[in-house]
Structure 1
C-alpha cells in the first residue's frame, strides 16, 4: 500500500494506491493551510496504517519542505520525490527537458498506459489539465513527449481581470457547472466570461493541435481531460481525474 501525492500550484492531492491503478482513497487540500495538510496525513494514517512508501511530484517548490517534514513526522519515513529521470520515456522534445512541469509528463504518460498502445496503432495523446493553469500536453503513444501550450486557468484569468481593471473581485468556490451565457449582474458576468473563455480557447487549441499532429505524423489523436474543473466536460472526450497520481503509480510502483 502506497501514499502518492501530487503537489500542484494550489492544492495537494493525496491518494492511496494498492494493487490497481485507481486510488482507494483520495483527498485534495489547499496547501496554503499547513494544518489542513497535517490533518489530512493523520487521517490517512488512521485509516491506512500499513504504508510501504510515499512518492510525490511537485510543481510548487515552496511546499516541498513542509510536505516532506509532515510525512516524516506522521509516517516515520522519507517520501521520494519523483523527477523527470524517473519517468520511462522514449524521448522528451522539450528544451530544456526538465523545464516542462513534471505533472504534464506524468499525466500524458498515464493516459497512454490507461488507453493501451502498440506499434500498429500509433496515436497522440492530448491531455488538457484544467487547474490553476490550463495546460495542453501531447505525447506520442511510443512515449515521446512533444510539448504543448500553457493557458491561464479559469480562476486565474478571472482574478487577473479584477487586478488590472476597476471590476470587483469575488471569491469563487467550486465550479460545478457551465453557467448561463446571459447574466444581469457583475459577479455572474465575470465568472461566466472566464468559464466560456476557457471553453472557447481549449476547443480551438485542441482542434489546431489535432490538425498539426495529423499533418506532421499522420496519426490520430485521443483527447483526455483532467484537473480541477475537468468535471465540466468542456470537450467530448474521456475524463481521467487522477492522471498525475496514476503517472506516479505506473512509474514508481507497477513497473517495479
Structure 2
C-alpha cells in the first residue's frame, strides 16, 4: 500500500492506494498549529476505521504548498508508519518537463496534477484546479508543462466579500438556477457561481485561442469545488476528484 498526502492551504487530502486502486481517502482542515501527534491521532483512527493496517503501508509520498507542515508529516511518516517519506520537490523525478523561466516557482500540487494527466489522460491538456486558488495549468502537445493562470479561489472570494463588507453574509457555494437574485443571499450566490463560471470558461477560451486554435485539448477539472461547475460550464466535461492523489502515486512509482 502507498500512503499519499497532498497538503494545501485550506485542506489536507490523504489517500491510500492498494496497487492502483484508492481504497481510502479523506480530507482534513489545514491547521498550522497542530502537532505531528495531533494529526496522527486523527489519521490513525481514520485508518483503523477503514480496516487499514499501518504496517501494510510500504511507501509514503507528500506534496505540500505549506512548508511548515512538511516536517510535521515527514515526522508522522517516520514515527507512525516507520517509513521515510518522499517529498515532491527538487531532486525528485516527476516525469513532467517544465518549460518556464524558473521551474522552482511552480507549486508542487500543479506538477503533481500534470504528472497524473500525462499518465492517465491525453494531451495537450488544460487542468482547472478549484482549491484555495483556482489554477489553470497548460500542457502542450509534447507533454511539456508550459505555464498557466492563478486566480483567487471561489471560497476565498466569498469569505473576503463577507469579511470586508458590513452587511453581506457568507454563503455556501452551490449551483444557481437563475442569475437575478430575489434577496441578498441569492444575489451573492448568483454572483459567485455565475461570476466564476464566466471566469473559468472565459480563461479556458482565451488559452485555447492563444495556444490550441487548431487542436482539441483535454480539459480536466479537479479540486473540492470543481463538481459545482460541472454540467454548467461550456468547457468542463471531466471532473477527477482524485487527480492529485493519482499524480502522487505516479511520482512515487518513478522514484521508488
What TM-score, normalized by structure 1, do the two folds share? 0.85
CA distance in 2, matches of 1:90, 1:55: 17
CA distance in 1, matches of 2:69, 2:255: 28
Question: In the TM superposition, what is the alpha-carbon distance from 1:191 to its structure 2 partner?
Answer: 3.0
User: Could you report, residue by residue, the CA deviation over 1:172-223 in whole angstroms, capped at 9, with x for unpaired residues?
Assistant: 55x45446433233233223312221111000000111111225xx433110
Q: Tell whether the 8 Å contact from 1:180 to 1:192 is kept in structure 2 after alignment.
A: yes
Alignment match of 2:83 (pick from 77, 86, 100): 77
Q: Tell whether the 8 Å contact from 1:68 to 1:79 is kept in structure 2 after alignment.
A: yes
Is 1:139 matched up with 2:128? Answer: no
Q: Which residue of 2 aligns with 1:112?
A: 118
Is 1:64 matched up with 2:70? Answer: yes
* Number of aligned positions between the proteins: 245
Q: Which residue of 2 aligns with 1:4?
A: 4
CA distance in 1, matches of 2:96, 2:131: 27
Q: Tell whether the 8 Å contact from 1:41 to 1:74 is kept in structure 2 after alignment.
A: no
Q: Which residue of 2 aligns with 1:203?
A: 201
Q: Which residue of 2 aligns with 1:214?
A: 212
Question: In the TM superposition, what is the alpha-carbon distance from 1:72 to its structure 2 partner?
Answer: 3.1
Question: In the TM superposition, what is the alpha-carbon distance from 1:24 to its structure 2 partner?
Answer: 1.2
Q: Tell whether the 8 Å contact from 2:96 to 2:111 is kept in structure 1 after alignment.
A: no
Say if 1:94 and 1:254 are closer, same or farther in 2 by CA, change over 3 A. closer
User: Could you report, residue by residue, the CA deviation over 1:84-117 in whole angstroms, capped at 9, with x for unpaired residues?
Assistant: 542444631223101011111111221231125x
What TM-score, normalized by structure 2, do the two folds share? 0.85
CA distance in 2, matches of 1:176, 1:67: 33
Say if 1:90 and 1:110 are closer, same or farther in 2 by CA, change over 3 A. closer
CA distance in 2, matches of 1:92, 1:41: 34
Q: Which residue of 2 aligns with 1:15?
A: 15
Listed as ranges, the gaps of 5+ residues in structure 2 are none
Q: Tell whether the 8 Å contact from 2:62 to 2:248 is kept in structure 1 after alignment.
A: yes
CA RMSD of aligned residues (A): 2.4
Question: In the TM superposition, what is the alpha-carbon distance from 1:60 to its structure 2 partner?
Answer: 1.3
